[in-house]
Chains A and B, each alone.
Chain A
Amino acid sequence: MTEFGFFIDPSRCIGCKSCENACAECETHRGYPMIQVDFIDRANSIATVPTVCMHCDNPTCAQVCPADAIKKTDDGVVQSSLKPRCVACSNCVLGCPFGVPKMMSAIDQMMKCDMCYDRTSTGKRPMCATVCPSQALAFVPLEQIKRERKLKPTNVFHFGKQKVTTKVFMMVPETVDEISVDVVDYMWEREEEHEASASI
C-alpha cells in the first residue's frame, strides 16, 4: 500500500478555517479543534498559516513530560497525553518547538492533534487535510506531491542546537533543504566562537 504523508504549504493557505471546523468534528475531541489558523500580520497582509502537530520523530513534548504521559505509536503519530498519567503541568506546551500542544484546563489534560488517529488508523485521510479547500494541508503520497508541486517537502528543522525531524512535511522552495529559524544558523562563526556563544 502506498504510504501517505502529511504536508503543510502555508503559501496555499487562504485562512478559511475549514480545517479548524472540520477538526472539531473528530471523534476523539469533539467540539474542540486541535489545529489553528492565524493571520501572520493582518494589518499588512492577508497571509495566514495553519498550525498542526508536526509529529516529531523524537518528540520534545514527550521528552519533557515528567509523567511519561505522551506516547508515539509505531506509525510515528504522537498522541495526546494519556489521561491517567497527565499531571497537567504544561511542560509539553512550553517545550514544543512548534507551539502545538494545548492544555485543556477544563479536563486537566494536554490534548493535541493525533493526525485523526481514528481515521488514519482505518485508512481514511485526516479531516483537516481532506477538507482543506486550497490543499495547504494535504495528505497524499510523497511521490505525488513531489511530482505535482513546485515547492518541495522537507521535514528537517533546526531550533538553535536542536535538530528536529518530523513525520509531517513542510513545503519549502526548491533551494531549501532544511528549515532553521535562527539567524545564527546562517552565520559564519569560528568553531571556538560558536562553542563559546552556543553555551550562553
Chain B
Amino acid sequence: MAKPPIPLPQLIELYGPHLNYEPPGGWQDESIHPADKLVKTHCCFCGQQCGIQLKVRDDQVIGFEPWEDFPFNRGMLCPKGVKRYMQNNHTDRLLGPLLRTDNGFNATTWDEALDFTVKRIREIQEKYGKDSVAVYGGASLTTEKAYLVGKFARVALGTKHIDYNGRLCMVSAGTAYKLAFGVDRSPNPWEDIPKAEVVMITGSNTAECSPITTEYIWRMKDNGGKLIVVDPRMTPISRNNDLYLPVRPGMDVILYMSILNVILREGLHKQDFIDAHTIGFAEVAESVKQYTPEVAADVTGVPPAAIEKAALWLGNAGAAMILHARGVEHQSKGVENCSALINICLATGNFGREGAGCVMITGQGNGQGGREHGQKCDQLPGQRSIDDPDGRAHVASVWGIEPDEIPTAGYSAMEIMSALHSGEIKALVSICFNPVISLPHAEFTKEALEKAEFVCIIDPFMSETAHYADVVLAGSLQEEDEGVVANVEGRVLHIQKCVNPPKDARVDWTIFVDIAKRLGREKHFDYHSSREIFDELREASRGGHADYYGITYEKIDKQMGVFWPCPTLDHPGTPRLFENAKFFHKDGKARFMLTPYRESGDPVNNEFPIYLTTGRVVSQYLSGTQTRRIGALVDMYPEPRLEIHPRLAKQHGIADGDWVTVTTRRTSATFKAMVVKTIRPDTVFVPYHWPGKKSINQLTHRTIDPRSKIPEYKVSACRIAKTTDSSTEGGSQ
C-alpha cells in the first residue's frame, strides 16, 4: 500500500508547490554578480523547443537572454520560456533520495535508496513475474533518456510494460500518420506555413499551447493567405480568422468528411496525384457521400455555408496546410479525426511541397523525439515496430542480447494504470510523468497507485504522484544534462548541460544505470556520458524510419538542428518529408483511411446534457509539476475557471464569478464561472493543470481510442448547477 504517508497540507508545506518569484540572490543581485556565461540551449517546455540562452553563474541558472540567431523562434519566447530559468534553484527541488515511512518521507543515501528499490523490484518480479513491474517514461525527457528508459525496461527489468506520457499527447496523430504514410512525423518544416494559401487550424489552441507558431500563421496572413479555425471555443488564434467553424465537441470527423464531400462534389480533388501516389481513395470517396453539408450541419453545429466555404478554399488553394493538435486527437476516435484530415490533404494533393501538408502540432517538450526510440510500448528505437523481426534483430545486436530477450509489446500508459488497479501489475518505476493529475478519472488513478506494492518516482520535484511513492529519487532538470530533443518539425536539437543538479540530486540517466548495475545488467548499461548513450541510439535507430545515424552533437550545433531522417554522416537531414510524393510505405504510396463516426465514450443525454471539454492555458505546462512553482506564471492564471456561454449561464442563473458545480458520471467538482461568448453554448471548458479538488481530471472518463490508446479528454458529458457552497472547491490546497 502506498497512500500518501502524511496529510496533504504537510506534504505541501515540505515539498511545495511554493512560488518562486525571483532569481537566485534576488532581482538586484545580477548587477553585482553578473553571469559567468551564456549557454545556447532550448526551452524545456512544449514541443516548439525554442532556442534560448541561459545565464549561468556559480553553477546556478540565474536568468535568460533571447537567442535571436536560432532560426525556429528567432528570439521569440512565450511567458513559460521567459520564466523557465526559475527552477534550477527552486526551494522545492528534491536534493537527494527519499524513503517513505509512516511519518513521511525521510532523507536517505543513494546506496540505501537504490538497494531498497532493487530489493523490492527483485522480490516482486520473483513472486509475480517480470511483467509485474511497469515503467513510465515521459516526453519531456531528452531523447537519450527516453531511449534509455525503453532499454532499461526491456533489458534491465525484462518487463514488456513500458509506456510514457506521450500516450496522452500526440499518439492519435502518430497512429494516423503511420497508417497513412508509414512514418510518424509532421511532414513540413514550419517555414512552410507562411507559404500556404490556406491554413486550417483544428483542435489547436495554438496561441496558448504553441505560441511561437502564431507568428508563422500571422505571416501566412500577411502573405495573403486565409485562416480557417475549427474549435468549440474561440481561442486567441481565432482573432484573425477568415472563417470560424465552431464544431460541436466530438463531431470533428463528420465535419472533415463533409469538407471532403464538397471537395469531391466540386471536382476539386487531384485525380492524377490520387491515382499515382495513393491507395484507398474510392472507398473513402464513397464513405463521405452521405455527409453533405446539410447533414453535417445538424450534427456538427457548423452552418452548411461555412462547410462549403472551407471546402472551396481548401480545394482551390494551390497549396494548403491543415494544422491539428490535441483537440481532435484527445478523442476515442482521435485516429479517425486525424485520418480524415489526412484524407483531405491527400485528395487535394497537398503533400511534399512548400506550404502544403497535414501537420500535427506536437505538444510536449520532446514529444517528437521522446516517441521515436523505444519508450512506447510497441516500438523499438528508430520508430521500429516491436513486432518486426528484422528490427528486433538489429536492436538486439546493438544491445548485445538475443532478439528473443526483447519482450513483446506491453500495455500502454492507460492500460498500465488499469493493470495496477486490477492487481495484474504490482509495481511502477516512473520518471517525468504525473498521472495523478494528467490521467482521466483521477480517483481511479489514486486507487491504482494505492494498490501498488511498490512505487518508485524519479523527478526533480515532488509531484502529486510522488506522494504515493515508496522511494522518491531526486532527478534532474533539462538544463542539468546534455542531450538531444526533436521539436515539432522533427528537427533534432542539442540540449546543453548548463549546470549540475543541486546537492545530491542526480542526472536522470545515471540513476537508471545504477539500478541496472544492481540488477546485474551492468554490461548493457556501461555509459559514462550522454554522448555515449546518443552514439548507441544512433546505431540502434540506423535503418529505421527515424534514422539518427547521421546526426551528431557537432552537426546539430553547426546546422542549428538536423531534421531526421539523416541516415549518413554526410546527409544534410530531411526538412520536408514526402517530396516527389514518395511516402514511407514499401510501395511508396500513401493510404486513404476510412473514418467511420463513433459516439463518444461518455455521451451526452438528458441526465448529462452538456459537453465538458478540457485543455490548457498559456502560463502552465502539462501537469504543472514545474510551472505551478513559478510565481509569475501562477499569478497569470492562478486556478481553473469554468468557461461558459452567457446563454447557458442564464439558463442556470449563473453570473460571472459564481461557483458552479460540474457533475459527470464519475463525480462532481466546483469551479468559478467565467461567462464568455467565446465558447459554444452547449459546451463548458476547464483547463487541467491543477491537483486535488481543482483537477478537472476528477471528472473526465477513461475511454480510450482503440488504436492509439489516447484518453478522450476533449469530450465528456456533464450537468451544471450554481452553488453557494465552495467547500468542494480546492481552496485549501
The reply to whether chain A is a binding partner of chain B is yes
Residues in B with CB closer than 8 Å to A166 are none
Interface core residue of A12, A13, A45, A150 (most chain B CB under 10 Å):
A12
Contact in complex: B82, A18 (CB < 8 Å): yes
Would you call B68 and A130 a contact (CB within 8 A)?
A: yes
Q: Which of A21, A134, A150 contacts B211 (CB 8 A)?
A: A134
Interface positions, chain B 193-235, Cβ under 8 Å from A, are 207-208, 211-212, 214-215, 218-219, 221-222, 224, 234-235
User: Is B112 in the interface zone, CB < 8 Å from A?
Assistant: no
B221 engages A48 (CB within 8 Å): no
Any chain B CB within 8 A of the CB of A200?
no
Q: Is the CB of A131 within 8 A of B218?
A: no
Q: Are B83 and A16 in contact (CB under 8 A)?
A: no
Q: Which B-chain residue is minimally distant from A151 (CB atoms)?
A: B222
Find out whether the CB atom of B27 lies under 8 angstroms from the CB atom of A31.
yes
8 A Cβ contacts from A132-164 to B = 132-135, 148-150
Nearest CB in chain B: distance from A21 CB, A: 4
Q: Name which of B365-373, B483-491, B674-682 contacts chain A.
A: B674-682
Knowing A43-B677, A46-B236 are in contact, say whether A130-B27 is a contact too (CB < 8 A).
Answer: no
Of residues 25 to 44 in A, which have CB atoms within 8 Å of B's CB atoms?
25, 27, 30-31, 42-44
Determine if B27 and A30 form an interchain contact, defined as CB atoms under 8 angstroms apart. Answer: yes
B83's nearest neighbour on chain A, judged by CB, is A21
A131 touches B236 (CB 8 A): no
B239 and A47 contacting across the interface, CB-CB below 8 Å: yes
Q: Is B678 a contact partner of A45 (Cβ separation < 8 A)?
A: yes
Sorting the interface of chain B by its residue count into under 10, 10 to 19, 20 to 34 or 35 or more gives 35 or more
Q: What are the residues of chain B within 8 A of A27 when measuring CB–CB?
A: 30-31
A58 touches B (CB below 8 Å):
no
B634 at the interface (CB under 8 A from A): no
Q: Is the CB of A43 within 8 A of B656?
A: yes
The minimal Cβ–Cβ distance linking A190 to chain B, given in whole angstroms, is 41
CA distance A31 to B64 in the complex (A): 14
- A172: CB under 8 A from chain B? no
Contact A46 B238 (CB under 8 A): yes
What count of chain A residues pass the 8 Å CB interface test? Answer: 34
Contact residues of B between 38 and 70, Cβ < 8 Å to A: 63-64, 66, 68
Decide yes or no whether B419 CB sits under 8 A from chain A: no
Are A133 and B208 closer than 8 Å at their CB atoms?
Answer: no
Tell me if B648 is interfacial: C-beta within 8 Å of chain A: no
Shortest CB-to-CB span from A175 to chain B, Å, is: 17
CB B64 to nearest CB in A, in angstroms, measures 7
Contacts of B68 in A (CB 8 A): 125, 130
- Interface check B176, CB cutoff 8 A: no
B732 contacts partner chain A, Cβ-Cβ < 8 Å: no
Write out the residue numbers on chain A whose beta carbons fall within 8 Å of the beta carbon of B76: 130-133, 135
Tell whether B22 is near chain A: CB-to-CB under 8 Å. Answer: yes
In the complex, chain A residues whose CB is within 8 Å of the CB of B656? 43
Q: Which of A15, A125, A150 contacts B75 (CB 8 A)?
A: A125
Closest Cβ neighbor of A27 among chain B residues? B31
**Is A77's CB within 8 Å of the partner chain B?**
no
* A9–chain B nearest beta-carbon distance, Å: 8
A113 interface residue per 8 A CB criterion: no
| B306 interfacial by beta-carbon distance below 8 Å | no
**Which residues in chain A, 101-134, are within 8 Å of chain B measured between CB atoms?**
125, 127, 130-134
Which residue from chain B places its CB closest to the CB of A29 in the assembled complex? Answer: B27
Given the complex of chains A and B, what is the CA–CA distance between A199 and B678 in angstroms?
43
Contacts of A21 in B (CB 8 A): 79, 82-83, 632
Q: Which residues does chain A contribute within 8 Å of B237, judged by CB atoms?
A: 14
Give the Cβ gap from B520 to chain A, nearest Cβ, in Å: 49
Given A130-B68, A130-B76, A131-B76, verify A16-B618 contact (CB < 8 Å).
yes
B240 at the interface (CB under 8 A from A): yes
Residues of A within 8 A of B83 (CB): 21
A2 to B497, CA, bound (A): 36
The answer to whether B79 touches A16, judged by C-beta atoms less than 8 angstroms apart, is yes
Q: Is B636 an interface residue (CB 8 A)?
A: yes
Residues in B neighbouring A134, C-beta threshold 8 A: 207, 211, 214-215, 218
A43-B676 CB under 8 A given contacts A131-B66, A133-B215: yes
CA distance A68 to B221 in the complex (A): 45
A174 to chain B minimum Cβ distance, whole angstroms, is 12
User: When the two chains form their complex, are residues A14 and B208 in contact, meaning their CB atoms are under 8 A apart?
Assistant: yes
A135 to B211, CA, bound (A): 11
B78 CB within 8 Å of chain A: yes
Which of A24, A48, A150 lies in contact with B236, CB distance below 8 A?
A48
Q: How far is the CA of A43 from the CA of B312 in the complex (A)?
A: 33
Are the C-beta atoms of B207 and A131 separated by less than 8 Å? no
- Min Cβ gap A195→B in Å is 41
* 0/1 string, B80-104, CB within 8 A of A gives 1: 0111000000000000000000000
Contact with A along B355-384 (1 / 0, CB 8 A): 000000000000000000000000000000
A72 at the interface (CB under 8 A from B): no
Once the chains bind, are A131 and B77 in contact (CB under 8 Å)? yes
Taking a contact as CB atoms under 8 Å apart, the answer to whether A131 and B636 are in contact is no
Contact B208 A135 (CB under 8 A): no
Q: How far is the CA of A124 from the CA of B437 in the complex (A)?
A: 41
Which residues on the B side are within 8 Å of A133 (C-beta)?
73, 76-78, 211-212, 214-215
List, in ascending order, chain A residues with CB within 8 A of B222's CB.
Answer: 148-150
Q: Find residues 146-194 in chain A having any chain B CB closer than 8 Å to their own CB.
A: 148-150
Set A11, A30, A43, A47: member contacting B28, Cβ < 8 A: A30
A103 to B513, CA, bound (A): 56
Task: List B contacts of A12 (CB < 8 A).
Answer: 214, 218, 240
Q: Which residues of A contact B618 (CB under 8 A)?
A: 14-17
Is A56 an interface residue when CB atoms closer than 8 A count as contact?
no
Q: A23 to B219, alpha carbons, bound, how many Å? A: 25
Q: Is A25 a contact of B636 with CB atoms below 8 Å?
A: no
Inter-subunit contact A25/B236 (CB<8 Å): no
A residues with CB within 8 A of B: 11-18, 20-22, 24-25, 27, 30-31, 42-48, 125, 127, 130-135, 148-150
A14-B214, A22-B82, A45-B239 known, 18 other contacts, Cβ within 8 Å: A15-B207, A17-B618, A18-B81, A22-B77, A27-B30, A30-B28, A43-B646, A43-B656, A45-B234, A46-B234, A46-B236, A46-B239, A46-B678, A125-B66, A125-B68, A132-B76, A133-B73, A133-B76
Residues of chain B touching chain A, judged by Cβ–Cβ distance below 8 Å, are 21-22, 27-28, 30-31, 63-64, 66, 68, 73, 75-79, 81-83, 207-208, 211-212, 214-215, 218-219, 221-222, 224, 234-240, 618-619, 632, 636, 646, 656, 674-678
User: Mind listing 26 A-B residue pairs with CB under 8 Å?
Assistant: A11-B239, A13-B236, A14-B239, A14-B618, A15-B207, A15-B236, A18-B79, A18-B211, A22-B82, A30-B27, A30-B30, A31-B21, A31-B22, A43-B646, A43-B677, A45-B677, A46-B235, A46-B236, A48-B236, A125-B68, A131-B75, A133-B76, A133-B77, A133-B212, A148-B219, A148-B222
Closest 10 CB pairs of A and B: A14-B207, A30-B27, A133-B211, A14-B236, A31-B27, A134-B214, A21-B82, A131-B77, A21-B79, A130-B75
